[in-house]
Structure 1
Amino acid sequence: MPVDFTAIDFETANSHSSSACAVGLVRVRGGVVVERAEWLIRPPAGHGEFLSMNIRIHGITPAMVTDAHDWAEQLPQLREFIGSDVAVAHNAGFDMGVIRGACAETVTPVPKLRYLCSVQVSRKTYDIPSHRLPLAAAAAGFGEFSHHNALADAEACASIIIDAAKRHAAPSVTALAKTTGLRIQTLKAIPLKL
C-alpha cells in the first residue's frame, strides 16, 4: 500500500472556526506530490470580519474574498479533491475544527473524513525544540516556504508525512500512524443544541 494522502491547510479571517478564508490542498501518491489546489473562501456573514492580526499573518483581505465562493458552495470541490484519502494537517485539531465550525455555521453536512495530525507525527519522528510547521518541515528537509500561505503550508505538511514514512519504513499513512503509536481520527459533527 503506497503512501497516499491529501494534506490540507486553512487560513481564517478571525478567531472563529467558521471564518475560513483560504484553503490549500496537496495530493500525494506513492510519497510524491502529484497535484495542488488552492482557493479563497468567503466567510459567513455572521463571522466574516477580518481581524487586522489575521490579515497581517496571511495577507488575505475582505476585498480579496468578495467574489469567492462561500463555504457551502466550495465544499463539494473540497470533498472531491480529498476523495477517500486520509487528510493530513499540521495541528489537525485546528483545521478539522474549521471544517466542523464552517459546516455548523452554514448548516452543511460535515464530510466524513479520516485524518492524521502531522504535529503528532513530528513529535514521534524528530528531536527538535519545537514542532511548529517551519521547524518540522525543515527537519523533513523541506526548504523555506511562505508560512501562512495555505498552499505552501499544505505542501510543508505533506513533506513531514512523506519524510516520516521513509524514516519509519511505513508503507502507508495508516502504517505510519500505527508505527508511531498514533491513530487515524475520524471527523465528526458537533451535536446541535436544540
Structure 2
Amino acid sequence: MNFTAIDFETATGHSHSACAVGIITVEDGIIAEEFHTLIQPPDNEYWYRNIMVHGIKPADTLNIPTFDGLFPEIHRRLFGRKVVAHNESFDRNVLAKTMRWYGLYYDELEIADRWECTVKIYRSKGYPKANLKYCADRNGISLNHHEALSDARACAKLYMLHDGQVKMKI
C-alpha cells in the first residue's frame, strides 16, 4: 500500500490561504516519511477564528517562505502519488487554489482530480460522526487536532486501518 496523506491549515476563510501543511508518505503499508512546514499566507493575513482553531499566528509565519517557495518540496512528495485526506474536498481545494494563486498548475502534480477521503470511508462504515477527532479516538489513534502533521498522520493511519494494513483497537 503506497499513498500520501496530506492536511492543510488555512489562515483565513479563503482556500488559497494555506499556512501549514503536513504530508505523510506511506510505502508498503509503513509510514516512511513525515514532512511539516508552516507557510506564509498571502500578505501574512490571518483571521482571528482561524488562529483560535490551529494556534498559528502572523508572527509564526513572518519569516517563512510563501507557498511558491515551498512548492518544490511539496511537489516532490505528491508527484504521481495516490493522495488521501480527511475531508479531501477541503484539502484538495486548498492545494489547487493556493497553486493557482501563485501561478502553479495542479496538472503538473499528476495526481487524481479527486482523492481518497477518510471522511467518506468512515461514514460508509456507519460511524455516527466522521470528523477526524471522533474517528481517531474511536480507533485509538493519537491526535493533536488541527496540527497539520498530526492530522495527516491520523488520516494515514485511518486509511491503512480501513484497508486492513494496520491492526488497531476499534
Is TM-score (shorter-chain normalized) higher than 0.5?
yes
Query: How many Å separate the matches in 2 of 1:81 and 1:18?
Result: 20
Query: How many Å separate the matches in 1 of 2:61 and 2:73?
Result: 17
1:128, CA displacement in angstroms? 2.2
Query: How many Å separate the matches in 1 of 2:139 and 2:163?
Result: 11
Q: Which residue of 2 aligns with 1:154?
A: 152
Which secondary structure state, in structure 1, belongs to the residue aligned with residue 160 of structure 2?
A: helix
Q: Alpha carbon RMSD of aligned pairs, Å?
A: 1.4
Percent of residue pairs identical? 35
- The answer on 1:140 being equivalent to 2:136 is no
Query: How many Å separate the matches in 2 of 1:94 and 1:122?
Result: 17
User: What is the aligned length?
Assistant: 161
Which secondary structure state, in structure 1, belongs to the residue aligned with residue 163 of structure 2?
A: helix
Which secondary structure state, in structure 2, belongs to the residue aligned with residue 142 of structure 1?
A: coil
1:49-101 deviations in Å (ceiling 9; x for gaps): 20111111111010111111111111111010123221111001000100111
CA contact (8 A) 2:8 2:19 kept: yes
Judged with a 3 Å threshold, the aligned counterparts in structure 2 of structure 1 residues 85 and 121 are, in CA distance, closer, same or farther, namely same
Structure 1: gaps (5+ residues):
168-194
- The answer on 1:20 being equivalent to 2:32 is no
CA contact (8 A) 2:2 2:29 kept: yes
Judged with a 3 Å threshold, the aligned counterparts in structure 2 of structure 1 residues 107 and 83 are, in CA distance, closer, same or farther, namely closer
1:5-60 deviations in Å (ceiling 9; x for gaps): 11000000010000000000111122221211100111123xx4201111111110
Query: How many Å separate the matches in 2 of 1:139 and 1:85?
Result: 28
What TM-score, normalized to structure 1? 0.78
Q: Which residue of 2 aligns with 1:184?
A: none
User: Based on CA coordinates, which of the two structures has the bigger radius of gyration?
Assistant: 1
Query: How many Å separate the matches in 2 of 1:84 and 1:136?
Result: 28
Structure 2: gaps (5+ residues):
166-170
- Flag as ranges the 4+ runs of structure 1 deviating above 4 A: none
Query: How many Å separate the matches in 2 of 1:109 and 1:33?
Result: 28
Query: How many Å separate the matches in 2 of 1:113 and 1:69?
Result: 24
Q: Which residue of 2 aligns with 1:190?
A: none
